[in-house]
Amino acid sequence: MSGELPVPLPAELRYSAADPYAVRLSLGAPAAPPVDWVFARSLLAQGLSRPTGSGDVVVFPERRYRPDAIRILLRTRAGAALLEVSGAVVTAFLQRAHAVVPPGTEHRHIDLDHVVDQLTAGRE
């Protein structure tokens, strides 16, 4: 990753009240189907101001060269990718997501019957 030239990559952040704790980061590439990464909405929000995350997804502010940027590190067994995103874009996205489901109210938007059905499907 260090020393490599940046490559523009189409990306889209999505949020749905149907999965209130999560955000989806959809990454596209020319001539390839998009790849979705799903991670905690709170991880994205906390990453605006401080490094957060310790697994496959780590989010942290880039203060040295681009003070308004945040970086999202995505890791798999096969390798890693470091994305840089405008902090203003992420902030606006989170404001819209918080308007749909305010932080702390996520539990009110979970359909427990549906979750139980998914967990027990095929176990009869």
| 70-102: pLDDT as tens digits | 999 999 999 999 999 999 999 999 999 999 999
Nearest to 2 by CA among 86, 73, 55: 73
**CB 119: neighbour CB atoms within 10 A?**
8
3-state SS, residue 93: helix
Answer yes or no: are the C-beta atoms of 83 and 72 closer than 8 Å.
yes
Answer yes or no: are the C-beta atoms of 51 and 35 closer than 8 Å.
no
Q: How confident is the model at residue 16 (pLDDT cuts 50, 70, 90)?
A: very high
In this predicted structure, the answer to whether residue 28 has a pLDDT above a threshold of 80 is yes
In this predicted structure, the answer to whether residue 2 has a pLDDT above a threshold of 60 is no
User: pTM of the predicted model, to two decimals?
Assistant: 0.83
88 strand-pairing partners: none
86 strand-pairing partners: 69
Answer yes or no: are the C-beta atoms of 80 and 1 closer than 8 Å.
yes
Question: CA 34 to CA 44: how far, in whole Å?
Answer: 20
DSSP state string for 9-60: --EEEE--TTSTTEEEEEEEETTEEEEEEEEEHHHHHHTTTS-B--SSEEEE
